[in-house]
Amino acid sequence: MSGLGVLLKKELKEQLRSYRLLIVCAVFILFGLATPLLVKYLPELIKVAGEDVKIQMPAPTAVQALQEYADSMIQIGVLVAVLVTMGAIARERELGTAAMTLTKPVGRGTFIVAKLLAASTTFAIAIAAGAVACYFYTIILFGEANAAGFLASNLLMVLFFAVCLSITLLCSSFFKSQLAAGGVALVIIVVLALISAIPWIGPYMPGKLTGWGMALVAGSSGSAWRSFGVSLALIILCVVLSWQTLQRQEV
Amino acid sequence: MEAIKCEGLTKRFGPITAVDSLDMVVEDGCVFGFLGRNGAGKTTTIKLLTALSKPTQGKAWVAGEEVVHNSLTLRRKIGYLPEEPTFYNWMNGREYMIYVGELFHLHGGEIKRRSSELLNWVDLEEAASRRIGGYSKGMRQRLGIAQALMNSPEVLFLDEPASGLDPMGRRDVLEAILRLKGETTVFMSSHILSDVERVCDVVGIIDHGRLITQSPMEELRQKYAHSVFELEFEEPTDSLLDSLKPLSWVSKVEEIEPGVASLRVVVNDLATAKRELLERVAQSELTLLRYELTLPSLEDVFIELVGNEGNK
């Protein structure tokens, strides 16, 4: 992993200067602020909208607000993850900047690991920022909330997004076009989500991490360690496959 | 000592042979011009020699290292400038040099010193804190040369370093290459004959992936080129041009510059030409302003070896 520090520093600077970090953070913070507000006032809004229709809704809770936020972020976040990472390798190869770097003494594996670490760091920072915004707004609107459970659920979210990012990076190393890379990555992530619904294989899929996170926020028991292990293995597999793909390519 | 050596180096892309059994030796310290028309196999050869591409057959050695695909050891010893160098546009010139220095594991002080030295050397010191995105093509090319020299490479590969530049940019890049003479081995590919003629000591000519010839510049001129006469007149030269064309001792006759009354006569029998050319001029009754027997140019050699299409 010769040169990992240098490449990681460059990648992190790029995340900052290309406004990727800012954009991803803005999306998470926006949802972090909007979701508790929406959950709190949705019954009121429905009441106002449907004047004559009587809909009985349970009083919204802090748990509901935090769970709703996590749920929204998984869906929106996947799209953001694919969009900001699909060009990571494909675009560098297309522009020729990859060749400029790869004629220096750095391995192609290092090149990929640095990209994954930087993108994961961006998402970790954005998740933290969104979580802080969501948690404090929830406290303001609802009172007390389960901080430990919410923290754990956000850590699981980081792992889930790392899986999405590594899949997108693999596609970016495979395809010359970033659009093709993004499209195929999205399809793979959706297929994995659909497989999560199959009872015998579902518990092993990364999608179960989100369910585990929801349970932690609600303070209920239950874990998804098999899904946790498979997620880690998937990240490693994607990195190895990306490395092998790039190794065979002529930049 | 040999800086570059190839033995039967071959690269095929499906049915197309881009580099065909290349046997070549480049001596240490020279500026080697790798000449060929577009698509002759120059870039592919450079990619093979810089370990960016895997050969289909054959072997190569650069700076004493056997070239193995993706070899990190080799990369420490070479510098590379692609045909169109691309940079991270959000960086500034100095940041990019520091980034390259760090990739070569140079120490902080050395990186700082070498960055300033090289940026100054390629005349980019003033623009060093500006974003690369705002650099002109010539500035990018010079930054490309500077970054390729960061590790004081034993062999520097330059792929078409002056192509697509305006005359000033071209002059600056060629001067930078000239200043490298004796300091490092330069392997420079080009399809611009005048550039190679200006800076290179030794020339290799490649066509359809095959090395046609390799020789020091002067030797090449002596060996392959015919003698050339340049004539300048006061009146239009059309009639003389037509009368010279069919002569057996004339290989080629053309206007030096269209619209200017001057002719370039390439001959294959110098003795006969010396005797008969002036006689023909006298018969034409044109007013002769200049009559000169010139040294054959690399262009003449190139055309002789590759054919008339080589110039395109």
Please spell the DSSP secondary structure of A72-134, one letter per residue.
HHHHHHHHHHHHHHTTTTHHHHHHTHHHHHHTSS--HHHHHHHHHHHHHHHHHHHHHHHHHHH
pLDDT digits (tens, 9 = 90+) for B146-159: 999 999 999 999 99
| Amino acid making up residue A225 | W
Structure tokens given for B159:
């792929």
Place of tokens 């691309």: B86
Comparing B294 with A243, which gets the higher pLDDT? A243
Whole-number Å distance between alpha carbons of A214 and A160: 13
pLDDT of residue B59: 95
Tell me if B103 and A17 make a contact (CB, 8 A cut-off): no
- The least confident of A89-103, B175-189, B203-217, B250-264 is B250-264
Tell me if B72 and A107 make a contact (CB, 8 A cut-off): yes
Whole-number Å distance between alpha carbons of A104 and A90: 19
Structure tokens given for A104:
């220096």
pLDDT digits (tens, 9 = 90+) for B112-167: 999 999 999 888 999 999 999 999 988 999 999 999 999 999 999 999 998 778 88
Q: Assess whether pLDDT exceeds 50 at residue A82.
A: yes
Whole-number Å distance between alpha carbons of A243 and A172: 11
Instruction: Report, as an integer, the average pLDDT of B68-87.
Output: 90
pLDDT of residue B71: 82
Whole-number Å distance between alpha carbons of B164 and B237: 34
Chain A partners within 8 Å of B102 (Cβ): 3, 6, 9
pLDDT of residue B251: 85
Whole-number Å distance between alpha carbons of A33 and A72: 12
Element (H, E) at A156: helix A147-174
The pLDDT mean for chain A works out to: 92
Element (H, E) at B193: helix B193-199
Put the strands of the sheet holding B65-66 in their side by side order.
B16-27, B2-13, B57-62, B65-66
CA distance A91 to chain B (A): 11
User: Sign of torsion, CA B141 B142 B143 B147?
Assistant: positive
Chain B partners within 8 Å of A107 (Cβ): 70, 72
Tell me if B86 and A96 make a contact (CB, 8 A cut-off): yes
CB B288, CB B233: distance < 8 Å = yes
Chain B partners within 8 Å of A94 (Cβ): none
Residue of B nearest to A104 (CA): B75
Whole-number Å distance between alpha carbons of B59 and B49: 9
Comparing B168 with A138, which gets the higher pLDDT? A138
Strands (E), B38-130: 57-62, 65-66, 78-81
pLDDT of residue B224: 67
Per-residue b/e over A36-65, b at no fewer than 16 CB within 10 Å? bebbbeeeeeeeeeeeeeeeeeeebbbbbb
Count of domains forming chain A? 1
Q: A interface mutation test: which of B83, B88, B111 has the most A CBs within 10 A?
A: B88
Predicted-complex ipTM score:
0.87
CB B67, CB B60: distance < 8 Å = yes
Whole-number Å distance between alpha carbons of A36 and A134: 7
pLDDT of residue A66: 93
On whether any CB of chain B is under 8 Å from the CB of A6, the answer is: yes
CA distance B78 to chain A (A): 9
Residues forming a β-bridge with B60: B6
Residue of A nearest to B99 (CA): A6
Whole-number Å distance between alpha carbons of A89 and A241: 13
pLDDT of residue B269: 83
Instruction: Report, as an integer, the average pLDDT of B302-312.
Output: 60
Chain A partners within 8 Å of B87 (Cβ): 97, 100
Residue of B nearest to A4 (CA): B103
Instruction: Report, as an integer, the average pLDDT of A130-159.
Output: 93
Element (H, E) at B251: strand B250-255
Interface list for A 69-108 with B (CB within 8 A): 95-97, 99-108
Three-state SS for A23-35 is HHHHHHHHHHHHH
Q: Which of B82, B99, B102 is facing A96, going by the closest CB pair? A: B82
Rg (CA), chain A: 20
Q: Tell me: domain B2-216, CATH 3.40.640.10, correct?
A: no
CB A117, CB A37: distance < 8 Å = no
The CATH 3.30.70.920 portion of chain B extends over 226-295
CA distance B189 to chain A (A): 17
Residue B116 burial (10 A CB sphere; 0-12, 13-18, 19+): middle
pLDDT digits (tens, 9 = 90+) for A85-122: 999 999 999 999 998 999 899 999 999 999 999 999 99
Interface list for A 107-166 with B (CB within 8 A): 107-108
Residue of B nearest to A250 (CA): B53
* Residue A188, domain extent: 4-248
Whole-number Å distance between alpha carbons of B235 and B289: 10
| Amino acid making up residue B96 | Y
Residue of A nearest to B90 (CA): A17
Does pTM surpass 0.90? Answer: no
pLDDT of residue B188: 95
CB B157, CB B79: distance < 8 Å = yes
pLDDT of residue B310: 42
Backbone angles phi, psi at B256, to 5 degrees: -65, -45
Q: B interface mutation test: which of A103, A244, A245 has the most B CBs within 10 A?
A: A103
Q: Assess whether pLDDT exceeds 80 at residue A221.
A: no
Q: B interface mutation test: which of A1, A22, A102, A104 has the most B CBs within 10 A?
A: A104
Q: A interface mutation test: which of B65, B90, B143 has the most A CBs within 10 A?
A: B90
The CATH 3.40.50.300 portion of chain B extends over 2-216
Chain A partners within 8 Å of B78 (Cβ): 103
Q: Assess whether pLDDT exceeds 90 at residue A23.
A: yes
Query: Quick one: pLDDT band at residue B309, thresholds 50, 70, 90?
Result: very low
| Beta-carbon contacts of residue A191 (< 8 Å; ≥ 6 apart) | none
Instruction: Report, as an integer, the average pLDDT of B204-217.
Output: 91
Tell me if B72 and A103 make a contact (CB, 8 A cut-off): no
CATH topology of domain B226-295: Alpha-Beta Plaits (3.30.70)
Tell me if A96 and B84 make a contact (CB, 8 A cut-off): yes
Tell me if B87 and A100 make a contact (CB, 8 A cut-off): yes
| Amino acid making up residue B287 | T
Whole-number Å distance between alpha carbons of B120 and B124: 6
Residue of A nearest to B105 (CA): A3
* Cα–Cα separations (whole angstroms), residue A147 to A63, A125, A144, A156, A224: 10, 18, 9, 14, 20
**Beta strand B210-216 with B202-207: parallel, antiparallel or unpaired?**
antiparallel
pLDDT digits (tens, 9 = 90+) for B253-284: 888 877 778 998 988 888 898 889 999 999 98
Q: Which of A18, A96, A102 is facing B90, going by the closest CB pair? A: A18
The pLDDT mean for chain B works out to: 89
Phi-psi region of A51 (alpha: psi -120 to 50; beta: other; left: phi over 0): alpha
Query: Quick one: pLDDT band at residue A155, thresholds 50, 70, 90?
Result: very high
CB A72, CB A152: distance < 8 Å = no
Q: A interface mutation test: which of B52, B65, B147 has the most A CBs within 10 A?
A: B52
Q: Percent of chain B having pLDDT more than 70?
A: 96
A–B CB contacts, 8 A cutoff, strictly below: 61
